[in-house]
Amino acid sequence: MGFDFNDSSIRKYMYLGNFGLEKESLRVNSEGFLAHTKHPFPNHPNIDRDFCENQVELITNVHDSVDGMYGELETLHKQVVKTLFNMPAGREFLWPFSNPPYVKGEKDIPIASFDGKLKGKERYREYLASKYGKKKMLFSGIHFNFSFSDALLEAGYGSSDFDSYTDYKNSVYLELAKKITRYSWLIVYLTAASPVMDGSFFMDDALGKDVLKNYASTRCSEIGYWNAFIPILNYTSLETYVDSIQAYIDDGQLQSAAELYYPVRLKPSGENSLENIKKTGINHVELRMLDLNPLSPIGVFKEDLEFIHLLLIYLMSLDDTAFEAFEQTMAIKNLKRAARFDVKDIWIETGWNTAFDVRDAALKVLFGMERFFRNFGNSDWMQLIYSHRQRIAFREFRYAEKIRKEFQKDYVKNGLKLAKQYAENIEKGVN
Give the pLDDT confidence of 345-372 residue by residue, as tens digits: 899 998 777 899 999 999 999 999 999 9
Q: Give me the pLDDT at residue 143, please.
A: 98
DSSP 116-160: GGGHHHHHHHHHHHHHH-TGGGG--EEEEEEEE-HHHHHHHHHTS
Q: What is the CA radius of gyration of the chain?
A: 21
Q: Give me the pLDDT at residue 233, please.
A: 97
- What does the pLDDT look like over 254-304, one tens digit per residue? 999 999 999 999 999 988 899 999 999 999 999 999 999 999 999 999 999
Q: Give me the pLDDT at residue 350, please.
A: 86
pLDDT grade, residue 431 (50/70/90)?
low
> What are residue 384's phi and psi, to 5 degrees?
-65, -45
Across 194-219, average pLDDT: 96
Across 191-208, average pLDDT: 96
- What does the pLDDT look like over 47-70, one tens digit per residue? 999 999 999 999 999 999 999 999
Q: 8-428 has which fold?
A: Creatine Kinase; Chain A, domain 2 (3.30.590)
Q: Give me the pLDDT at residue 377, please.
A: 72
Position 378 pLDDT exceeds 70: yes
Across 3-14, average pLDDT: 92
DSSP 282-349: --EEEEEEEEP-TTSTTSS-HHHHHHHHHHHHHHTTSPP----HHHHHHHHHHHHHHTBS-GGG-EEE
C-alpha 110/C-alpha 34 separation (Å) is: 9
pLDDT grade, residue 329 (50/70/90)?
very high
What does pLDDT average to over the chain? 95
pLDDT grade, residue 21 (50/70/90)?
very high
pTM passes above 0.75: yes
Q: Give me the pLDDT at residue 257, please.
A: 92
